[in-house]
Structure 1
Amino acid sequence: MTRIVVIDNHGQFTHLEQRALRDAGVDTELVDNDTPPEEIDADGVVLSGGPDADRAGRSAEFLDIDVPVLGICLGMQIMASELGGRVGSGDYGGYADVTVDILDDDDPLVGSLAPETRVWASHADEVKELPDGFTHTATSDVCGIEAMSDADRDLYGVQWHPEVAHTERGEEVFENFIARCER
């Protein structure tokens, strides 16, 4: 059975990320972000959302364990900043229901959502500049970079929360990620 661990960055929806994966039929576990990556045995990793990059523990170390990684909100920001991108304050700030335009319908994570989808997202902080090797895969009128992918390294990020009921087709994002973990 496919096993995906969720690295807990203390976000208010983190338990829903684990539940979404369990509901999709994978073995999943919620793991504290101070856990050493070498202690993890998984086919994929989700870097959860969270309130503060200063409380991200060892999250960045999970980018190098040679399994697909999905960063959600703060998880995407950690991925971007650790790999040479830039994160900054968002113009909007709090949570909002946002229409996201999918820019790459061939993208393995969000391409199936094209041409657009409605999501629930926080924009207090956001990726302002992509790291080298990443493709800009989604945008909105609230946030320039709503999603990014580096399919060669199986690293993916979404600014929005696919685990919450307010996000349309959020389960599809998890299903697409699971498919990458099962390759």
Structure 2
Amino acid sequence: MTRIVVVDNHGQFTHLEGRALRDVGVEVAIVDNETPPADVDADGIVLSGGPDMDRTGNSTEYLEHGVPVFGICLGMQAMADALGGRVESGEYGGYADVTVDILDEADPLVGSLAPETRVWASHADEVVEVPEGFSRTAESDVCGVEAMSDPDRDLYGVQWHPEVAHTERGQEVFENFVALCE
């Protein structure tokens, strides 16, 4: 059975990420972000959202774990920052219902959502420049990098929260990620 590990960055929705993955039919474990990657056996890693870039623990060490990695909100921001992208404070701030435009219908994580979908996102911080090797795969009128992908390294991220009920087709994003891990 496919096993996905969710690295908990102390976000309020981490348990919902685990639930969404269990609903896809995979084995799920949630581990604290201080857990060393060497202690984790997984077919895929989710870097959860969270409140603070200074509290991501060992999250970015999972980028070299050799399995697909999916960063959600803070998880995506930590990924971008660690790999040479740029993260800044967003102009919008708190949570909002946002329409994202999918830029790449062939993207394995979010392409199936094209041409657009409604999502629930926080923009207190956001990726403003993707790292080398990544492409922007979604944008909105609030944020230029709503999603990013580097399929060559199996690294993916979204600014929004696919695990919450306010996001349309959020479960589909988790299904797409699990397909990458199988």
TM bucket, shorter chain: over 0.9
**Equivalents in 2 of 1:94, 1:32: separation in Å?**
25
Q: Does 1:139 align with 2:139?
A: yes
Deviations 1:105-126 (A, max 9, x none): 0000000000000000000000
3-state DSSP of counterpart to 1:54 = helix
1:53-64 equivalences in 2 (<5 Å): 53-64=53-64
Identify the residue that residue 178 of structure 1 maps to in structure 2. 178
Deviations 1:23-73 (A, max 9, x none): 110000100000010010000000000000111110010000000000000
Q: Does 1:71 align with 2:32?
A: no
Identify the residue that residue 21 of structure 1 maps to in structure 2. 21
**Equivalents in 2 of 1:125, 1:76: separation in Å?**
11
**Equivalents in 2 of 1:119, 1:137: separation in Å?**
15
Cα RMSD over matched residues? 0.3
3-state DSSP of counterpart to 1:18 = helix
Identify the residue that residue 150 of structure 2 maps to in structure 1. 150
Identify the residue that residue 30 of structure 1 maps to in structure 2. 30
- Aligned partner letter, 2:127: V
**Structure 2 alignment gaps of length 5 or more:** none
Q: Does 1:2 align with 2:2?
A: yes
**Equivalents in 1 of 2:151, 2:36: separation in Å?**
25
- Aligned partner letter, 1:37: P
List structure 1 runs of 4+ shifted beyond 3 angstroms: none
**Equivalents in 1 of 2:127, 2:103: separation in Å?**
16
1:122-133 equivalences in 2 (<5 Å): 122-133=122-133
Deviation at 1:161, TM superposition (A): 0.1
**Structure 1 alignment gaps of length 5 or more:** none
Deviation at 1:145, TM superposition (A): 0.3
Q: TM-score, normalised by structure 1?
A: 0.99
Deviations 1:76-124 (A, max 9, x none): 0000000000000001000000000000000000000000000000000
3-state DSSP of counterpart to 2:167 = coil
**Could you tell me the percent identity over the aligned residues?**
79
- Aligned partner letter, 2:51: P
3-state DSSP of counterpart to 2:80 = helix
